[in-house]
A and B are shown apart, each in its own frame.
Chain A
Amino acid sequence: MPEPVAQKTLDMTRRASLGALIVGISAIAVGYAAALLPRGTPTWAPWLLALGIPVALGAIMILGAARGRMGIGPLKYPFAFVVAVLAIGFCAALALPATESPLSKLWLGLPARAAIVIYGIGLLPIIVLPVAYALTFETQTLNAEDVERVRELGRENKARSEGQSS
């Protein structure tokens, strides 16, 4: 019997996110291993973390959010946005020259590179991710029908264990 389309989509999404998680964690591992070299931390080691961390976090969120026929459905946009914000934020902090001085232009009270970190990495995901979670909750995460099916399983398990103990 051919594999249902829903299961294939789900497996593809989960497989891809699992692969991305392994790649992200491996990049982080290489970054740490490089720092342990006798010559000291190479300049490229932080870049591996700057890219590996967003990939690993995005991947594990997708792994958790993948569901049925839809995979991650419309959640691909907020996930892509947040991975991009984290990666761009970290890379910008690494790449931009250090120009902080008393004459620096301030962005909402902070010099540019600090503003990228605090407002970009620290605040932008807050605006996007929890709202996306709430807006897609019934279709993507959990609905009353799901809960009822699990409660039915719970009743069956309870009856079985009571039957075994009596």
Chain B
Amino acid sequence: MIIAVGVIYFAVIVGISVWAARRTRTASDFFVAGKGIGLLALTVASVSVSVSGFAFIGGPGFIYAVGLGAMYIVLPAAVTNVMGAWVLAKRMRLLGEARNLITVPDAIGARYRSPAAQGLAAIAMLVGIVGYMATNALAMGVVINSIFGVGLGWGIWIGMGVTLAYSASGGILAGIYNDVFQGTLMAIASVLVFLFVLEFGGGLGDISRTILAHDPTFLGPWGKLTPLAALSFFFVFSMGSLGQPQAVHKYYMLRDPLQLKWYPLLKTLGLVLVLLLYFSVGIGVKAFVLSGRLPPLASPDQATPSLLLNATPIILAALVFSGIAAATMSAANSFINIGAAIVSHDLPVAFGRRVKNELRWGRAVTILIAVAAAITAQLSGTMVAFLGIFGWGLFASTLVPALAVGLNWQGATREGAIASIVTGLVITLSLETAAYLKAFTFPAGVTASAIAMVSSFLVFFVVSWLTRRDAQSAIDPDVRFVMEL
């Protein structure tokens, strides 16, 4: 049954990709779907790329291990979508209209009239994408191996091969419509699992009572984390959301800017549905293991597989496994596309050149990035996990001040933007590397991502203030007009 559902899932992906490939004719089609995506499709696609395999496997496992403290990673979803809409969506979509921009570094370049800032932002994003891609490739390998039993190595290559096929042929258009299919699948699977867990556990009250009888700290407001650690998660995953290119890049694609009106509401509701699994499996499996209804887990990451293989109906297990594959593939596709745009568009612009055929280069770079990610994913698990950890933090610390604050504050300067991007890049890389090499350990609750983001903000403000003399005159009139709307 699981194999049959898996085969159907991949067949639908191929069908959508062939259709999209026939409609992709220009670089704008390839990178921003010709700015022609409707509200509902964009919303579901955006939900899909916002939720990686972590929400289905690592997240529930994290709740199982540390209790409610793990919820501080997803609780920011209550504010992040509407915050992104107010801070970035309108201005980026209108800049796309006025300047025909297609990438996130494009917006930084236009705001500060600076190819250097655009190039630095592009380099920072490329470094982060390597990490994200490798972890998603590895996750794909794990899921495909679970479904088809082909081995981890082949799982990585098959998963990346399918993702590459639709990324290279249909670009973001294939990605968006595959995301719509995948996001729908994820939401259905998540809601069904949530309802199953409540039914199986006799309701949330009974699940809580079981946990409280054995391990009351688990249901404390911070779980087993320190308050500082839980609050730190909230900070990094709320403020940091404004720098995640896979979500921010989507603002360019909406066909009609006025449709932004309903985008935050629909996306927030979609995210809540998809995240029901994260919460319900995390606390449900804890209660079921404590009460002896499920066997003890070999590791926290076994929370979702253990529930699926030991308790749920097989059709639901098949749906969820397909949902997990969907989550990893949609995230990988989005990052491949953004990475290709950086190499074929942003970096040449930063060096004062334009490639003649961005579409052809985009397709070629797409293949290179996918192959590099698949090879990186074959490295040892700890190295890949390390690469994945700093992805979110790197995007947050390098992009949030320059992009999110910069597009809303005319006093921000080119020097401030460049200094903050460099600060985020250097601090994230050096602290994460030092921690990985065990040169030192952070106190509980302090992370490299948080320190890098705070430092990047402070450097941005201080350098902008020190260089404020020409700030107003360094903004092009059309960009200023969009900033004042």
Chain A interface residues toward B at CB < 8 A = 10, 14, 18, 21-22, 25-26, 28-29, 31-32, 35-36, 40-41, 45-46, 49-50, 53, 56-57, 60-61, 63-68, 82, 86, 90, 93-94, 96, 98, 100-102, 104, 106, 108-111, 113-114, 116-118, 121-126, 129-131, 133-134, 137-138, 141-144, 146-147, 149-151, 153-154, 157-158
Contacts and interface: CB of A to CB of B under 8 A. Distances in A.
Contacts of A45: 228
Interface stretch (B142-150, B233-241, B363-371): B233-241
Contacts of A65: 86
A40 B442 CA distance: 11
Contact of A121 (B75, B216, B457): B75
B458 A46 contact: no
A41 B443 CA distance: 8
5 contacts: A60-B408, A98-B216, A111-B219, A118-B68, A129-B264
Contact of A133 (B222, B239, B265): B265
Contacts of A41: 226, 228, 443-445
Interface residues of B, number: 76
A53 B228 contact: no
B87 A144 contact: no
B83 A122 contact: no
A129 B82 contact: yes
Nearest to B231: A49
Given A29-B458, A142-B90, A46 B446 contact: no
B97 A130 contact: no
A150 B258 CA distance: 13
B461 interface: yes
Given A31-B228, A134-B261, A53 B83 contact: no
Contact of A130 (B82, B100, B205): B82
A124 B476 CA distance: 40
Contact of A63 (B408, B443, B446, B481): B408
Given A31-B228, A60-B87, A65-B86, A129 B79 contact: yes
B242 interface: yes
Contacts of B232: 32, 49
Contacts of A130: 81-82, 264-265, 268
Interface in B277-307: 279
B98 interface: yes
B68 A109 contact: no
A144 B204 contact: no
Contacts of B165: none
Given A31-B228, A32-B451, A117 B458 contact: no
B15 interface: no
Given A114-B219, A118-B68, 13 more contacts: A53-B238, A60-B87, A60-B239, A61-B82, A64-B86, A64-B87, A93-B222, A123-B78, A131-B265, A134-B261, A142-B258, A142-B260, A146-B485
Contacts of A129: 78-79, 82-83, 264
A61 B238 CA distance: 12
Contacts of B262: 134
B51 to A, nearest CB: 16
A140 B57 CA distance: 40
Nearest to A129: B82
Contacts of A134: 261-262, 264-265
B36 interface: no
Nearest to A127: B78
A82 B203 contact: no
A3 to B, nearest CB: 14
A49 B228 contact: yes
Interface string B391-407: 00000000000001100
